[in-house]
Structure 1
Amino acid sequence: MKFIVLDRDGVINKDSDQFIKSPEEWEPIPGSLEAIARLNQSGWRVVIASNQSGVGRGLFGMDMLNAINGRMVEALAQVGGRLDGIFFCPHAADSTCDCRKPKPGLLKQIESRFNVDLGGVPIVGDSLRDMQAGAAVGCEPYLVLTGKGEKTRDDPALPPGTHIYPDLAAVVDALLD
């Protein structure tokens, strides 16, 4: 079974410094949904691991987060794609939880739920915390330059061997090549 972990904001959809707070604000990055569909068609299981501190900050509730994710799932289905799971940390940045990336708690939840070892599994993100969380469980880090990726690419704390691609579609091209 081929497995991949994706961040949401800045990887699948356009990110916002003001947070994605409603389904209407959720807008896919061109080519991202089709890239996920191509992974599905090639036998990959696709799972999201996303910090959603807007919930913890009181900017939106769980019902709205579910509506936003529902829009994403619907848009993905329209191009023949699907997600095998959506894992998220709802806590604010100052939380001491273990699920907020860069801590590996979300990824450990994925390992437990799917009974998989994420060692060597690609993790695709646009921020240092995505790469660090993945490195903590042995994932293969892929940084995309969409979202916060351009700012992140020059960070000296990037895990060694981080692959850098323009966007999710380019990562999927490389993985399926």
Structure 2
Amino acid sequence: MQKAVFLDRDGVLNEVLNHRVKFVNRPEDLHLLEGVEQAIRQFNEDGWKVFIVTNQGGVGLGYMTEDELGEIHDRLVDLLEASGARVDDIAYCPHMPHEGCVCRKPEAGMILELAEAHNIFLGESYMVGDREPDIQAGRNAGTRTVFIANRKNKKIGADYHFKDLISFSNWLVNGKGM
């Protein structure tokens, strides 16, 4: 079995709710946060599988189609690959908030599905997010949890706290996370 880092998208990998972009509903709305490419490259080089798990209720609410979401994710992958970083898979929940599906975080469906498909040992893996539903999804799946406090969000009860993804990556690949 392999170890993995499961990453929330908005607020962990890319800008959201700031002066430049409110929500990412088009490829041109996607702007990576500083250090994201380097962090993912470090995960790759250290042998971690990297997955993105993201709630995308904008699909269910009609703000974008699944094809348009695919274009956004294609741009994300292209930006990462241009700097030598690789994502192994992306899972998303297109359902509206409060729809009651098993995939929308805080439920663990996306993480569990990826873990089964890619032979991941969840007990040695991490779920990284910037909101309580991300952390709860990681707990529900049996991963360790990492809270990224890169916006004006309150500190929550995750296993670990970092200011950004590159800070977590530096800590993890330097042997502190094992």
TM-score by length of 2: 0.90
Q: Deviations over 1:112-166 (max 9, x none)?
A: 211223123111100000000101121111001124xx4231x4xx25xx21101
Structure 1 partner of 2:106: 102
Match of 1:142, SS state, is strand
Structure 2 partner of 1:39: 43
Q: What amino acid sits opposite 1:170 in the alignment?
A: S
How is 1:2-151 mapped onto 2 (pairs within 5 angstroms)? 2-16=3-17, 18-147=22-151, 150-151=152-153
d(CA) in 2 for partners of 1:39, 1:13: 17
d(CA) in 1 for partners of 2:116, 2:167: 29
Could you tell me which runs of 5 or more consecutive residues in structure 2 were left unpaired when the two chains were aligned: none
Distance apart, 1:3 and its partner CA: 1.3
Match of 1:171, SS state, is helix
* Runs of 4+ with >4 A deviation: none
Give the paired residue count. 170
CA RMSD of aligned residues (A): 1.4
d(CA) in 1 for partners of 2:45, 2:111: 24
Q: What amino acid sits opposite 2:136 in the alignment?
A: Q
Distance apart, 1:111 and its partner CA: 1.7
Instruction: Verify: 1:165 aligned to 2:162, yes or no.
Output: yes
8 Å contact 1:126–1:152 — kept in the other structure?
no
Distance apart, 1:16 and its partner CA: 2.8
TM-score by length of 1: 0.91
d(CA) in 2 for partners of 1:23, 1:168: 22
